[in-house]
Structure 1
Amino acid sequence: MKGMHYIDGKWLDSGDKLIDVMNPATGERVGTVPNGGKEEAKAAIDAAAKAFSSWSKKTVYERSELLMKWHDLLLEHKEEVAVILTKEMGKPLHEAIGEIEYSASFISWFAEEAKRLYGRTIPASHEDKRIQVNKQPVGVVVSITPWNFPAAMMARKMAPALAVGCTFVAKPAKNTPLTAVRMYELAEEAGFPKGVINLVTGSAREIGAAFTSHPDVRKLTFTGSTEIGKELMKQCADNMLNLSLELGGHAPIIILDDANLDLAVQGVMASKFRNAGQTCVCGNRIYVHRAIVDAFSTKLKEAVAKLKVGNGLDKDVMIGPLIDKEGYEKVDEHVQDAVEKGAEILIGGSGNTDNDAYFYQPTVLLNANHDMLVMKEETFGPVAPIMVFDEDDEAIRYANNTRFGLAAYLFTDSMSRGTAISEGLDFGIVGWNDGSPSSAQAPFGGMKESGIGREGGMEGLEAFVETKYISMKVR
């Protein structure tokens, strides 16, 4: 598949400057995209700025209608788009189809929710005054999205921005740009006016610098590492850009002694091993009450043993490849470090790197401790380390002992203990007996160094508007 830039309603290339898109399951090339930079980014922003005036003046019903056409086309072509996603990212096809459906849910949610973006009238302190509060689109929005959820992250940012009247410029990850290209083709088919949506591929550094320095850009939305998020935040300071940052995570899972073990194992499998552990909300540290650690670890090992590793397009595969050599080496380093420091491998613990493809066996480690890298850093791989605890307060303290605060999970059948722990966790998202808490209608985002702002829910809509206060003196 040959991808191109989409700027001001036209598909454009960058001559012979191309980026190869590789299948991480086979090491084979699956397509190319242009290796663009600051010039393409500037052209896309200029187009978005020009289109903003007319797009922002359309009624919310007109914008909603176009979004729903895009939504319908995306679902109509979901298997096709999912195959593209699996080829360039590696996740199993059933997960890729699920991601396309998840992406579409954001489009439909925001298409409807934007109709309820209300202002308000405030009682004035003088009889000859009236006070109104209005909501208006922030302006041109630029986005930088990650490789692990190339469809969902695009939709979660793009849909609310378009719904409230912003225009949009997207820069997808270099590993997985083809999914975004196909989504833009479907958006073009839906009928979005030229300049309203724009797509550029290429150098992250050049395009990012153009995004943060262009005077017509009013908001940057980014999902990625905390380190890159901090760099972008510094770059945005000169123009005081509005920011939404969804950054790194290091999610704890707490399993109390009164938990339903089958439900807990099910939740851990959903959180830990989806997308081969390459998710920002992935459970990275599992704290299990001493009284049930043997029973839980046995059940988890049995469940993990059933996971089939391989090419995401093959039948019954549940664990695809890691995205690249660097990702593989980090996972292996974490496992070897844990073993050196006393962890016991219950299952897994190794991988293979044939034909420039990087697969790691789903792994469960027992007797983990906080000296291990896997308990201190985000692994981004299919490794589940188990550490015991004795008291609820101890589990909360362990869970909060991180600079990240994106997602956390707990499993208990006690309303009292569950309420106390969920309220004590310093994380933006808490799954209580739920390993898959994300949904379009709920706010997604983190505390501490896991980001700024929220995506999804009403909060995800508010992220793309300005609040204007109008004081009127009347006779």
Structure 2
Amino acid sequence: MTIQQFIDGRLVPSASDDTLAVHNPATETVMDQVPRGAPEDVNRAVTAAHRALASWRALTTVERGRYLLAIADELERRGEEIVRLTSRNNGKPLAEARIDLGDAVATYRYYGEHAEALLDARQNADVAVAMPGYASRLRLEPVGVAALIVPWNFPLVTTAWKLAPALLAGCTAVLKPSEVTPLPEMVMAEVAETVDLPAGVLNIVNGTGEHVGAPLTIHPDVAKVSFTGSNPVGAQVMRAAAADARNISLELGGKSPIVVFEDADPDQAVEWIMAGIFFNAGQICSATSRLLVHESVAEAVLPRLKAAAEALALGDPLDEATEMGPLTTRAQYDKALTYFRQAVSENLVCLTGGTASNRAHGYFVAPTVYTHVPTDSRLWREEIFAPVLCTRTFASEDEAVALANDCAYGLAATVVSADTERAHRVADRLEAGHVWLNGPQVILPETSWGGHKASGIGRELGPWGLHAFLEVKHVSYPR
């Protein structure tokens, strides 16, 4: 059965008869068919969103927040069903899929529970002005119809990060899921119907970037484009939006460092290194794929890291014992193998991995660690989006910071040190949008998500995620 489009509150056939196969990456079997999509689908969805905009923005912030809380409740109610669907379509282990569901639920709850504090408390606030006899007040108003373009590596999560603040702001939305992982995303159509979300407030258009994404970014009734994905596609979105000076947010790539100082506990450091690069099989924009380890502790850390990587349980994502699943797509699998060949051509030292898995089916690759990687290596500088870690040693704090910041990206970083004062000092010097100290990559909905340099434009989550969907207006008048 072919997945349909969700437009104006109901499931409808796509204007295109062409379809693409949706695969289970662990078995390479076809799970379903997704429409290629067409500009006509986009136009119908944007028209519905535009028609629903006036009545949706007329609701109070608290009323819109109640819908978000209802969405959170419904996702939670259907939890295990969604978890298993995510594991089958994306390839991530059940434990990771449960974390994803929890992150999505927490995002809807955050914006729903804090609706008044995030928006109403600032609405019509007086602005202090120096000119005698004048006053001004602040208005925060929805930007309009929002196009939300999300990737395949975190279905439901990146959608929540965009959709929850967009709806709270008073925007209506057209969501374009990845054609690779549409199945978890289409649950949102059923959720919208269950919570009686007004028709047209959320529309979901399935299809390719060419046939859906591109027309969506240039539609004249789309006021805001929020995109998460690769830098090359992000550049295309930015060029398209530039023609009409369209409001845009971009969450792009990363090549994040994890810095381990000499006073770190080697076993604890390895645990955080592993989580930073092998979660979701390395298919995470904030993956700490560059390990900088102090030269005095490297001999203790690296053998432990090798043993831990080789002990990772690869297998069926639906098996509770599985710790790492396959890469999500054939293209990503082929890309990883290309980098393995590049490593051989560069004569890199492979501590472990560097090969495809020996499993008969599925897009599995071995957890991989390279040591003493030169800073001009392609593997050191380019985002691989696979379970591939490159390591180097350093001798001083200044050297570690310089190596960490010598990168085109600036999304995230981790610092591991028993000296908390030093950890905070180093964090303040790192060029990254989010830095974790002595811990895993915990995503807190109250904090921002986004990066410096080539990692994107704008922020998601927290009040900053809400601001991305608001326009600022000041009303000034004589007293």
TM-score range, shorter chain: over 0.9
* Identical amino acids, percent of aligned pairs: 37
Indicate the residue corresponding to 1:8 in structure 2.
8
Q: Is the alpha carbon distance of 1:213 and 1:207 closer, same or farther for their aligned partners in structure 2, counting shifts above 3 Å?
A: same
What is the letter of the counterpart of residue 34 of structure 2?
Answer: V
Question: Unmatched 5+ residue regions in structure 2?
Answer: none
Say if 2:264 is the partner of 1:292. no
Indicate the residue corresponding to 2:232 in structure 1.
227
In 1: Cα distance, 2:45 partner to 2:384 partner: 36
Say if 2:189 is the partner of 1:184. yes
In 1: Cα distance, 2:421 partner to 2:97 partner: 38
In 1: Cα distance, 2:338 partner to 2:393 partner: 22
In 1: Cα distance, 2:355 partner to 2:45 partner: 45
- Equivalent position SS for 2:333: helix
Indicate the residue corresponding to 1:449 in structure 2.
454
Q: Are the equivalent residues in 2 in contact too, given 1:114–1:164 (CA < 8 A)?
A: no
With 154-163 and 391-400 compared, the bigger mean Cα shift is at 391-400
- Equivalent position SS for 2:139: strand
With 409-418 and 62-71 compared, the bigger mean Cα shift is at 409-418
Shift of 1:21: 0.7
Counterparts of 1:386-465 in structure 2, within 5 Å, are 386-465=391-470
Indicate the residue corresponding to 2:39 in structure 1.
38
Indicate the residue corresponding to 2:199 in structure 1.
194
With 26-35 and 344-353 compared, the bigger mean Cα shift is at 344-353
Shift of 1:113: 2.5
Indicate the residue corresponding to 1:23 in structure 2.
24
Shift of 1:353: 7.4
Shift of 1:218: 0.8
Query: Which of 346, 367, 370 pairs up with 1:362?
Result: 367
In 2: Cα distance, 1:341 partner to 1:391 partner: 27
With 151-160 and 355-364 compared, the bigger mean Cα shift is at 355-364
Shift of 1:145: 0.4
Q: Are the equivalent residues in 2 in contact too, given 1:111–1:160 (CA < 8 A)?
A: no
Indicate the residue corresponding to 1:262 in structure 2.
267
Indicate the residue corresponding to 1:309 in structure 2.
314
Question: Unmatched 5+ residue regions in structure 1?
Answer: none
- Equivalent position SS for 2:326: coil
Query: Which of 310, 332, 342 pairs up with 2:337?
Result: 332
What is the letter of the counterpart of residue 209 of structure 1?
Answer: A
Residues 305-355 of structure 1: CA distance to partner in whole angstroms, max 9, x if unpaired?
221111201231111111223212322232343344343333222114766
Q: Are the equivalent residues in 1 in contact too, given 2:412–2:433 (CA < 8 A)?
A: yes
Indicate the residue corresponding to 1:67 in structure 2.
68
- Equivalent position SS for 2:301: helix
Q: Is the alpha carbon distance of 1:233 and 1:251 closer, same or farther for their aligned partners in structure 2, counting shifts above 3 Å?
A: same
Shift of 1:239: 1.8
Give the TM-score of the pair, scaled to structure 2: 0.95
In 1: Cα distance, 2:384 partner to 2:455 partner: 15
What is the letter of the counterpart of residue 460 of structure 1?
Answer: G
In 2: Cα distance, 1:378 partner to 1:208 partner: 23
In 1: Cα distance, 2:376 partner to 2:107 partner: 40
Query: Which of 370, 377, 388 pairs up with 2:382?
Result: 377
- Equivalent position SS for 1:359: coil
Residues 275-329 of structure 1: CA distance to partner in whole angstroms, max 9, x if unpaired?
0111000011111111010100122122222211112012311111112232123
Shift of 1:184: 2.1
Give the TM-score of the pair, scaled to structure 1: 0.96
Query: Which of 149, 159, 162 pairs up with 1:157?
Result: 162
Indicate the residue corresponding to 2:115 in structure 1.
114
Residues 235-287 of structure 1: CA distance to partner in whole angstroms, max 9, x if unpaired?
00122111110001001111111112222111111111100111000011111
Q: Are the equivalent residues in 1 in contact too, given 2:180–2:329 (CA < 8 A)?
A: no
In 2: Cα distance, 1:90 partner to 1:353 partner: 17
What is the letter of the counterpart of residue 100 of structure 1?
Answer: L
What is the letter of the counterpart of residue 153 of structure 2?
Answer: N
Q: Are the equivalent residues in 1 in contact too, given 2:107–2:164 (CA < 8 A)?
A: yes
- Equivalent position SS for 1:283: coil
With 222-231 and 180-189 compared, the bigger mean Cα shift is at 180-189
Residues 171-200 of structure 1: CA distance to partner in whole angstroms, max 9, x if unpaired?
000100111101221122111000100000
Question: Number of aligned pairs?
Answer: 474
In 1: Cα distance, 2:360 partner to 2:56 partner: 48
Indicate the residue corresponding to 2:354 in structure 1.
349
